Structure 1
Amino acid sequence: MKYKKIVLAGGNGYLGGVLAEYYRPFTEEIIILSRSKASRVGNIKTIHWDAKTSGEWEGYLEEADMLINLCGKNVNCRYTLKNRKEIIDSRVIPTQLLGKAIEKLAVPPKLWINVTSATIYRHAEDYPQDEETGEIGYGFSVDVCRKWEDTFFQTDTPLTRKVALRMGIVLGSTDGVFPRLLNLVKFGLGGKQGDGQQYISWIHEQDAAKCTEWLMSNQEINGIINCTAPEPVKNTDLMASLRKYYGISFGLASPTWLLEIGALMIGTETELILKSRWVIPTRLLAHQYKFIFPTLEYAMKDILSVKV
C-alpha cells in the first residue's frame, strides 16, 4: 500500500466520502473524525469527536501521511445571526483544535490540508481571479473564508506542511450541486439563473481527490492553492451543456426576482447562485498538475455515464 494513514476531519459528508473511496484501495488505514458513533468498515475507521474538545482522537493523527480538514456547517441556509455564528464557529474552532493537537504529537501529519472555498474572491465578471493577483471580496461568505484561513495559517505546526485548498463547486453524481441542477433540467426548469452571466468555477470530484494526492507528492508546495478546473463557465453555458448532454432541448429560465422568492421559501441565499466565481488554478497549472477532467464537456459526460 502506498500510504499508511490518512485522516479526514469532518469526513462524513459528500466530499469526505469521495476522498475515502479514492484512497481506500491504496491506504492502510483511513480515519474519519466524525460526530457519528465509532465504527469500522474495511480499512475505513470512524472515530467519534465533537470537533470542540481534545480527547483520545488526537492520537489518531500521529504518523499520518495527511490530514484533511473538511469541517464546516453547510452554508446552504439563511444567514441569520444564529446560522452565521454556527457557520463561522464550525470552521474556526475545529481548525484551532487540530492545530493544538498537532503541536502535541511526536510525529505529526506530514501534510495538513484545510479545504476552504474559492468564494473568498470577489464577484468577478471582468477577469479571472488566481492565487497571486486575485482580489478578496466582501460580505459574510468572504468574511467566513478569511477568518477560516487566518486561523489555519496562525497555527504553529513547524513539522507539518500546510495547504489551504480553495475548492470550487464540486461536481459528481451522488450528491452536491450536480444532482440538484439535473433535477431542474428533468422538470423543464434548466434554463439560466439570473442573467446567466455569472461564472461557475467547478471541479470534478475525482480531480478534487487526485489534487490532494498530488499535493502529498509535491512537497515543495504550501500556502494557498485554487482547486478548480482550468475552464470556468458561465451559468447560462453550464445549464445549456447539462440540457444538451442529458438530451433535453428546453429549459425555463429563473429570473433574479423568482430566485429571491424561491431562496426564501427553501431557506437559502441567492448569493450561492448569483455570485460570479471566476477562479483559475494558476499554481496547479504552473506545477504541471494534469487534470482528469479539464473541461465541462468531459466532466458532464463522465458524471452522466453513472446512474444519477
Structure 2
Amino acid sequence: MKILITGATGFVGKQLVKSLTTHQLIILTRNVSDAKHILGSHHEYWQTLTDKPNLNDIDAVINLAGEPIVSKRWTNKQKKLISESRCDITAALTQLISKSTTPPHTFISASAIGYYGRQDKTPVDESSGFHAEFSHDICQQWEDLALQAQSQQTRVCITRIGIVLGKKGGALAKMLPPFKLGLGGPIGNGEQGMSWIHMDDLLGLINYLLNHNDLQGVFNATAPNPVSNEEFSQTLGKVLNRPAKITTPPLALRLAMGEMSQLLTEGQFVFPTRALAAGYEFIYTDIETALNNIVS
C-alpha cells in the first residue's frame, strides 16, 4: 500500500515506520532533512499539504501528528499549540480526502484516553461517558474532524491511545531515572488508574486496523488489564529490583506542573472492548511482563 503518515518522527511514529517497511511510505514533516536523518532517505517526503489538490493516489493515511501534551506547562499559549497541532493537520487531511475522487480507503487517526477525562474506579470503554475538561475537549475536536472523512469510500478508525510503554522514549523514559535510584513510588494515594499499552501492541493494533477493511469507529488502544498507579509503581520497582515507596504529594505536582499535573493525579481504568471484539490478540496483557520486556 501507499501510506501517508504524519507524526512519523515522534516516539510512536518512528517505530510505526519501521513496522511498515513492506509498504510505500510518504512522510509529512516540517523538517525533511531531520526526518530523513531519523527515518532514512528511501521514503518519499512532503513538507506541506497546501499544494496537494487531493489524495487520489494514496491508499491509506495514518495521522499521529501533535505537540506532546506533557512537554510544557499548560499556559494558554501552550494549550492553543496542543490544539492547533492536532486539529489543523487533521482538518487538512479530511478536506483533501473529501476532495478526492478515489480517496484513501482507510484513515487511521490518533486520539487519546484523555477523551474520557478524570474517572473513578469504574471500568471505562468506548461506550462510556466523559468528564468535561481540557484533555476531553482537545480529543473531542480532534476526533470530530477525523470522523468527517468517513464515507462509503473511506473508513475512519480512531485510536484512543493510553500510556505507551516502550524503549528510549515516552512516559517510561521519564519514570526510570528516579526508580532506578530507588526514589520512585506512587503519586498521592496511588488509586488512580493507569491505562497502558506496550509499543508492540499499539503498532500491532494499528496494523490490524489497517488490514481489516470491515473495522471503523473508535478503538481504545490500551492493554486489557489497566492497573492503579500504586500497582504500576510497585511492579516497576520489582522489575528494577529497587524499592518504590516514596510517595509524591499531589500538591507538589500541582505547584510544579499546574493544571497539567491532573494527568498524573487523576486517571481512568480503560478497557479495549472493541479491539478485543474485533479479534485483536494482545501480546502483552499484564504490566509485569510488559515492563520486564522493556527494561531487561
What are structure 2's unaligned runs of at least 5 residues?
none
| Aligned AA (1:208) | L
Between the aligned partners of 2:80 and 2:149, the Cα distance in structure 1 is 21
1:295 lines up with 2:286 in the alignment: yes
TM-score when normalising by structure 2: 0.92
1:66 lines up with 2:73 in the alignment: no
Partners of 2:187 and 2:265 within 8 A in 1: yes
**Deviation sequence 1:125-174 (CA, Å, 0-9, x none):** 33111112x11111111111111112222246441110111111111011
1:100 lines up with 2:95 in the alignment: yes
1:32 lines up with 2:45 in the alignment: no
Query: Quick one: which of 195, 200, 204 aligns to 2:198?
Result: 204
Query: Quick one: which of 56, 60, 76 aligns to 1:81?
Result: 76
- Tell me the equivalent position of 2:272: 281
| Aligned AA (2:43) | I
- Tell me the equivalent position of 1:20: 17
Partners of 2:121 and 2:192 within 8 A in 1: no
TM-score when normalising by structure 1: 0.88
1:54 lines up with 2:50 in the alignment: yes
The alpha-carbon deviation at position 10 of structure 1 amounts to 2.4
In the TM superposition, what are the counterparts of 1:93-172 in structure 2 within 5 Å? Answer: 93-132=88-127, 134-155=128-149, 157-172=151-166
Between the aligned partners of 1:37 and 1:288, the Cα distance in structure 2 is 37
- Tell me the equivalent position of 2:43: 44
What are structure 1's unaligned runs of at least 5 residues?
none
Percent identity between the two aligned chains: 32
Partners of 1:199 and 1:235 within 8 A in 2: yes
Between the aligned partners of 1:201 and 1:250, the Cα distance in structure 2 is 19
- What's the C-alpha RMSD, in Å, of the aligned pairs? 1.9
Q: Could you say what secondary structure the match of 2:146 adopts?
A: helix
Between the aligned partners of 2:74 and 2:41, the Cα distance in structure 1 is 39
In the TM superposition, what are the counterparts of 1:156-305 in structure 2 within 5 Å? Answer: 157-263=151-257, 269-305=260-296
**Deviation sequence 1:102-134 (CA, Å, 0-9, x none):** 1233432221011001111132233111112x1
Query: Which is further off, 153-162 or 204-213?
Result: 153-162
Between the aligned partners of 1:215 and 1:130, the Cα distance in structure 2 is 18
Q: Could you say what secondary structure the match of 2:257 adopts?
A: helix
How many pairs does the alignment contain?
A: 291
Between the aligned partners of 2:7 and 2:276, the Cα distance in structure 1 is 29
Q: CA 1:250/1:140 → structure 2, altered by over 3 Å: closer, same or farther?
A: closer
Partners of 1:200 and 1:276 within 8 A in 2: yes
